[in-house]
Amino acid sequence: MNASFPQPNLATLVLDFDSTFTQVEALDVLAELLSASDPARQADVAHIKTLTDQAMSGDIGFAEALQRRIQILKPTREDIAALVEVLRGRVSASVARNRAVFAENPGKFRIISGGFHEFIDPVVADLGIEAEYVLANRLIFDADGVATGVDQTNPLSQDGGKVAAVRDLGLSGDIVMIGDGWTDYEVYKGGAATRFYAFTENVSRPKVVATADGASVQVAATLDEVLHAEGYEGRYSFPRSKLKVLLLENVHPDAVRAFREEGYDVTLQKGALSEEALIEAIAGVHILGIRSKTNVTAKVLEHADKLLAVGAFCIGTNQIDLKGCSQKGIAVFNAPYSNTRSVVEMVMGLTVILTRSIYDKSVSMHQGKWDKSATGAHEVRGKTLGIVGYGAIGSQLSVLAEAFGMRVIYYDLAEKLTLGNARRYRSLDALLAEADVISLHVDGRPENKNLIGAAQFARMKDGVLFINLSRGHVVEIDALSNALKSGKVYGAAIDVFPEEPRTNDEPFVSSLKGLKNLILTPHIGGSTEEAQESIGQFASERLLNFLNRGDTTFSVNMPHVQLSEVQGRHRFLHLHQNVPGVMAAINQIMARYDLNVLGQHLKTNETLGYVIVDVDRGYPKEALEELKAVNGTLKFRSLM
Ligand SMILES: NC(=O)c1ccc[n+]([C@@H]2O[C@H](COP(=O)([O-])OP(=O)(O)OC[C@H]3O[C@@H](n4cnc5c(N)ncnc54)[C@H](O)[C@@H]3O)[C@@H](O)[C@H]2O)c1
């Protein structure tokens, strides 16, 4: 049942080099390099670009444009070597990610260009395509190593040269031309190619795109699409450009870039979407990226016909109907640790500011009062920091505080790995009685409501400093207010409140306003540009690993399976309700079709079962249909 490779009967694919194999026009890049080293040649750059564009759009003859460009540029061998280095970094994303396909199908790919072997051969060789499969011109150099002309005997230096060059190959079987330019289309029009793909990954030329007729001439946004349509087995089961990613609420540009670089079809929306608007937008979307202001409700999920995963580009996932997602087999990811460092740094800063009464001194200065005194101002060194909740934030704070010379004690309900010289306390009361500074970092579970009230403040040392950057409901506000007024608490910094304004337009209402040595901040503990960047990177990586490999590490609702890349094999991802018999049914189908299993994982949680099977390629497609039809199946995908 297993196929041997390379596959038989595949069309030969002829790829244009400039703006198709690479993202750029090589001669334009050469002109830029030359003008960068000699500003006097600035005008040459513009001239070269105009000639390139006119030739690509079919407005002037190719031969004329080529001769004129070389005569203007007059590059040396060193200039060509510099050009090669630039081009190596500008290979088209979909070409680069399909290098395995080139390697597996030697001789099935040809590179064609009116450009020159001197810079094309080394670039395509990096991707495993030998120079013998490159159709291109050769430069003529003078005795000083300066290119002065083009080999006129090469058909590619003439108008219509690409048609002649492809025809002269005398290949049997189908020939498929892929390119962005008019001369590429001419290869098909002139009868030398069976099909043509107008390639738009890097540049979309209206005149070329308009040639698409839906049958032999099509538009392809990536090489993945062409390989898929031409039946090439490769790394990707499905052209990524056909998978829709909808990113809302201005998610970080790093995330947008990551999806685009991997070839997915990305749509951006600056703001949040209302339920109604999201219901309309969600149809056909495979990946949805949101932040905290878009609600993914049960109603939205009803219309999510293609949705594979939701990425919360933030910390919390309260805005998402997690149960509904699980029932439909939709994976949910977030970025729980991306702002940890930001919170920790703020706590350290606040600790110093409170210990020195810097905030009150600054307020006095603004009122015209000069109050220079050391009374009540202390170093943090040697003071005891009591951390309540030793999770991601609490434990990092422990490390930074020790670096400041503080003595760290902590209390956590769960068993934790103690870092540095910190000491674990078995009771909250003992910690409260001993700390000079108390910082709360517990999670938001309902039992933590009013964890710190009048009784707890009473147990603290007189003149303690108190910091809460965890959750608003954890501290009883009136008790804190009284403790500050009585001097029991000398200073406090509060970033989170039981009730917080929902927008910047709503007023902040609290009995804490106006109290001395109390720093109030609007829930900004984790709000830094670095945290935003880190959230963008973390969440997009989780989503991409899920899409590309099936990896569910850190998912909020899926059984966690860490998976390697899919290379040289196919991977089935089968997500089902966690009910008896599914695994047996899957194994029966695989045995019946004699699939060669290379690796298998099964992970379950309370509601879901996730089976991952790596198999050798070359199996009947009916096997996939049967796997999809297994009772209890929620989602089935295959990757390659
Ligand atoms: N101010 C902000 O902008 C901001 C930013 C990020 C996180 N946070 C909040 O900070 C808190 C901590 O975040 P994290 O990432 O460290 O969470 P985490 O889940 O990693 O850690 C929480 C820890 O608290 C412990 N815990 C829970 N209840 C406890 C209790 N009653 N007594 C002792 N220990 C208890 C848990 O066992 C856990 O170890 C969360 O509430 C989070 O929402 C606030």
pLDDT tens profile 547-591: 999 999 999 999 999 998 887 788 999 999 999 999 999 999 999
Write the burial class of residue 61 (CB in 10 Å: 0-12 exposed, 13-18 middle, 19+ buried).
middle
pLDDT at 567: 76
**Mutation pick for ligand 1 pocket among 318, 390, 451, 470 (CB with most ligand atoms within 8 Å):** 470
Instruction: Tell how far the Cα of 442 is from the centroid of ligand 1, in angstroms.
Output: 3
- 467 phi and psi, to 5 degrees? -130, 130
Which is nearest to 54 in space by CA: 72, 43, 66?
Answer: 66
Confidence of residue 461 (pLDDT cuts 50, 70, 90): very high
Under 8 Å between Cβ of 522 and 494: no
Instruction: Tell how far the Cα of 470 is from the centroid of ligand 1, in angstroms.
Output: 6
Which is nearest to 314 in space by CA: 301, 327, 328, 332?
Answer: 332
DSSP, residue by residue, 118-134: HHHHHHHHTTT--GGGE
Residue nearest to atom 27 of ligand 1 (CA): 442
> Which position has the higher pLDDT, 224 or 286?
286
Mean pLDDT of 121-146: 95
How far apart CA 264 and CA 547 sit, in angstroms, is 10
**Mutation pick for ligand 1 pocket among 409, 443, 450, 519 (CB with most ligand atoms within 8 Å):** 443
C-beta 389 within 6 A of ligand 1: yes
- 494 phi and psi, to 5 degrees? -125, 125
Between the CA of residue 73 and those of 17, 30, 495, 583, what are the distances in Å? 20, 8, 62, 66
Give the rounded distance of the alpha carbon of 272 from its chain centre. 20
Ligand 1 atom closest to Cα of residue 495: 1
Which is nearest to 299 in space by CA: 268, 320, 270, 271?
Answer: 320
Note the pTM of the prediction, 2 decimals: 0.72
Instruction: Tell how far the Cα of 551 is from the centroid of ligand 1, in angstroms.
Output: 26
Under 8 Å between Cβ of 629 and 620: no
DSSP, residue by residue, 431-452: HHHH-SEEEE-----GGGTTSB
CA angle 478, 483, 489 (to 5 degrees): 135
pLDDT at 8: 64
Between the CA of residue 499 and those of 108, 141, 398, 520, 625, what are the distances in Å? 65, 76, 29, 14, 52
Mean pLDDT of 194-220: 94
For residue 234, pLDDT over 80 is answered with no
3-state secondary structure 338-400: CCHHHHHHHHHHHHHHHHCCHHHHHHHHHCCCCCCCCCCCCCCCCCEEEEECCCHHHHHHHHH
How far apart CA 188 and CA 205 sit, in angstroms, is 17
Active-site hit among 230, 500, 533, 626: 500
pLDDT at 530: 96
Residue nearest to atom 8 of ligand 1 (CA): 470
C-beta 444 within 6 A of ligand 1: yes
C-beta 440 within 6 A of ligand 1: no
Instruction: Tell how far the Cα of 505 is from the centroid of ligand 1, in angstroms.
Output: 28
Ligand 1 atom closest to Cα of residue 394: 16
Under 8 Å between Cβ of 474 and 451: yes
How far apart CA 409 and CA 407 sit, in angstroms, is 7
Instruction: Tell how far the Cα of 389 is from the centroid of ligand 1, in angstroms.
Output: 6
How far apart CA 636 and CA 329 sit, in angstroms, is 10
CA 201, 207, 213, 215 torsion-angle sign: negative
For residue 1, pLDDT over 50 is answered with no
For residue 51, pLDDT over 90 is answered with no
Ligand 1 atom closest to Cα of residue 527: 3
C-beta 525 within 6 A of ligand 1: yes
Active-site hit among 97, 228, 235, 471: 471
Instruction: Tell how far the Cα of 469 is from the centroid of ligand 1, in angstroms.
Output: 9
Ligand 1 atom closest to Cα of residue 469: 1
How far apart CA 120 and CA 113 sit, in angstroms, is 9
What single letter denotes the amino acid at residue 393? Answer: I
pLDDT at 238: 67
Instruction: Tell how far the Cα of 441 is from the centroid of ligand 1, in angstroms.
Output: 4
Confidence of residue 236 (pLDDT cuts 50, 70, 90): low
Among this protein's residues, is 500 annotated catalytic? yes
Mean pLDDT of 241-263: 91
3-class state of residue 308 by DSSP: coil
**Mutation pick for ligand 1 pocket among 441, 451, 469 (CB with most ligand atoms within 8 Å):** 441
C-beta 335 within 6 A of ligand 1: no
Instruction: Tell how far the Cα of 536 is from the centroid of ligand 1, in angstroms.
Output: 21
Active-site hit among 117, 257, 303, 523: 523
Under 8 Å between Cβ of 45 and 27: no
Are β-strands 217-220 and 195-199 bridged in parallel, bridged antiparallel, or unpaired? parallel
Residue nearest to atom 40 of ligand 1 (CA): 443
pLDDT at 47: 86
Mean pLDDT of 223-247: 82
C-beta 406 within 6 A of ligand 1: no
Mean pLDDT of 65-77: 88
How far apart CA 555 and CA 560 sit, in angstroms, is 7
- 141 phi and psi, to 5 degrees? -105, 150
% of the chain beyond a pLDDT of 70: 98
pLDDT tens profile 280-329: 999 999 999 999 889 999 999 999 999 999 999 998 898 999 999 999 99
446 upstream amide cis, omega within 30 of 0: no
**Mutation pick for ligand 1 pocket among 393, 432, 447 (CB with most ligand atoms within 8 Å):** 393
C-beta 339 within 6 A of ligand 1: yes
Contacts of 436 (CB under 8 A, 6+ apart): 383, 384, 385, 461, 464, 465
- 633 phi and psi, to 5 degrees? -65, 130
Mean pLDDT of 20-47: 89
pLDDT at 4: 40
Under 8 Å between Cβ of 621 and 585: no
Write the burial class of residue 440 (CB in 10 Å: 0-12 exposed, 13-18 middle, 19+ buried).
buried
Average pLDDT, the chain: 92
Confidence of residue 235 (pLDDT cuts 50, 70, 90): low
Q: How many residues does the chain have?
A: 640
pLDDT at 256: 94
pLDDT tens profile 426-460: 999 999 999 999 999 999 899 999 999 999 999 99
Confidence of residue 7 (pLDDT cuts 50, 70, 90): low
